[in-house]
Chains A and B, each alone.
Chain A
Amino acid sequence: MKRVLRSFKYVYLGLMLLFLYLPIVYLIVFSFNDFTSVSGRQAYSSIGTWKGFTLANYGAVFTDRSAGPAIVLTIEIALISSLAATIIGTAAAIGINSMRKRTRTAVLSVSQLPMVNPDLVTGITFMMLFAFVSSLLGINVGDFARLLIAHISFSIPYVIFSVLPRLKQSSDMLYEAALDLGCSPIQALLKAVIPDIMPGITSGFIMALTMSLDDFVVSYFIAKEQQTLSVHIYSSFRHGVNPAIATILFVPLVAMLLIVNLRRIAKEREYEIQNKKVKMK
């Protein structure tokens, strides 16, 4: 009975993983499919029929007029916005941590707003903001700036909430001590506080990066003449998306995350084993 139950557990997990990975694997497989149709057209929407192996789809990504720029834009926005969000967010976390309890609670609950807000609402509010700024002040904000502002805004809270727990663990004395030893506030921050909370900052950065790469709705509402990759996929799915465009950025990303995480786990395990050995001695 127990063994049946245990194997059932693994079967269940296996089925769920299959459910989660099947569509991704499907896209990867079809990114190597030959989509040339009867009349010689590249019919990417015939994504149900296997016609033969080719690498041509990956070549086509590079010559596609809109896919190439979309991939570049997506990467640029993700890197710059997450970097900016990490800087502003880390500074904010340090500031918030030293606030009095009541102010802190108030600022934190407002900070949660962009996280609870549906991205649909975030998207339309930004769309209105830029339309309003343009009609009233006559300032036409370019697409790159729009995307950057929006992406920074919705990622900052994630940075704050990953840095704050680390700050709470780290001692308040550190900063004071650095000041006493003759550091300027900025120096104290850079040399004493930041190194201590680095793991929190890193995970905040990764969080911001993934939020930016994962975004579709906000970019869809605010961008006009430039498209991020997800907007490009959405706006052309009706006449077929080259699956290589879809996989070229995201599959390496997912693979990288898997590897990084698994290696971290392996390291932790090694550490645990070593600890055990020390204890046994």
Chain B
Amino acid sequence: MKKWICIALTVVMILSFAACKKTIKVDEDTFADGDQYEYIGGELNVLNWGEYIDPDLLTLFEQETGVKVNYIEMTSNEEMLMKLRSADSSYDICVPSDYIIEQMIREDMLQPLDMSKIPNAKNIDPKMIEITNGFDPGNKYSLPYMWGTVGILYNTTMVDEPVDSWGILWNEKYKGSIWMYDSPRDTIGVTLKYLGYDMNTRNEDEVAAARDKLIEQAPLIKGFGTDEMRQSMIEGNEALAVIYSGDAFLCIDENPELTYIVPKEGSNVWFDNMVIMKNAKNVEAAHALINFLNDGAIAARNTEYIYYSTPNKAAMERLDPYFTENEIYNPPQEVLDRCELFHDLGDFVEIYNAAWNKITSK
């Protein structure tokens, strides 16, 4: 008897989950470029960063096209690359960063975008297109999704001196209160900048110098983090964090005691672009999703949710000045002038990986 009650309860539970599906309301304001979506069907496997899309938008896309979206999260570019390289990879669409896209093009992992299926690409700011041409000439394979800078987020009640240099991250005073980013290119990159080298250096001595500098810093840091840094900064647990501008903006929104700067030595400006994999199964739906996310109204809604800067001009026009006039969200030219893109390093990346292994095992 007891057994049957248990089984019945389980079945009820499964059914109740299946029955509970959110529906998103659609009205004339939902799309800026008109409701141009037709039924496609099938499944679409999307590989993206954690909390990097408004989940309601995915549901809306499912509603409009009948595609079932499997949304898988990753925490680093390297993890994503590993997943995509596996022989049984089944992802249709993903959102890697600039230097990884360059590498993926080199390794012939992507398929060219069919621009006739992405009419909303016209909404993307030509200025942004120009920058992304630096790693994907002519945007043959990718279209920008979000972008931003890397900088330092700090708590003004805990840090007394003015922060304008990466050097503060080596200050003994903040021992145990410093977050570094859990990504080899970002962390080694900013250290290279601090030492006055090129972020994309292929000089082994320079990488070794950065490595030693980071090993020297090891006792001072709280750890290498990604998304968990946000709450820890918001609650005022830690003083300093190397973080992406979008995350910094979100943190400051929650806790006004925080400030974000891009150090004077210069930093990294990055782009996360949407790409379609060469072995994608549902190419039609993949194009439709890219087109969907480039709709001005949709892109605005997405950026309001995740706080990262949108390259979409139509979206920028719709956004509240709270976003567009914010210097973190929309950095002035002088900040961008001291930032550079990461580039694919080819086989030299092994040197970075070896250095990273040394740093993280300390």
Contacts and interface: CB of A to CB of B under 8 A. Distances in A.
A and B in contact, CB less than 8 Å: yes
Interface of A: 37-39, 41, 43, 45-46, 48-49, 62-66, 68-69, 71-72, 75-76, 79, 130-135, 140-141, 224-227, 235-240, 256, 260
Interface of B: 2, 6, 10, 13-14, 16-18, 20, 22, 45, 50-51, 55, 58-59, 70-73, 75, 83, 86-91, 225-228, 230-231, 234-235, 253-255
B45 A225 contact: yes
B109 to A, nearest CB: 15
A140 B17 contact: no
B90 A75 contact: no
Contacts of A239: 50-51, 227-228, 230-231
A65 B16 contact: no
A37 B73 contact: no
B18 A72 contact: yes
B71 A66 contact: yes
Nearest to B305: A41
Contacts of A141: 88
Given A37-B254, A130-B88, A141-B88, A235 B73 contact: yes
Given A75-B14, A134-B87, A239-B227, A65 B59 contact: yes
Contact of A48 (B16, B50, B235): B235
A256 B16 CA distance: 20
A68 B17 contact: yes
A31 to B, nearest CB: 17
Contacts, number: 91
A234 B180 CA distance: 21
A75 B10 contact: yes
Contacts of B227: 238-239
16 contacts: A38-B255, A39-B254, A41-B254, A45-B228, A65-B55, A65-B71, A135-B87, A140-B88, A140-B90, A224-B45, A224-B72, A224-B83, A225-B45, A237-B228, A238-B75, A238-B227
Contacts of B235: 46, 48-49
Nearest to B20: A62
B72 A45 contact: no
B3 to A, nearest CB: 9
A39 B253 contact: yes
A130 to B, nearest CB: 6
Contacts of B255: 38
Contact of B90 (A63, A68, A76, A225): A225
Contacts of A69: 17
A218 B73 CA distance: 18
A64 B231 CA distance: 21
A263 B91 CA distance: 49
Given A37-B254, A45-B231, 11 more contacts: A38-B254, A45-B230, A65-B55, A69-B17, A130-B88, A131-B86, A134-B87, A224-B91, A235-B75, A238-B226, A239-B227
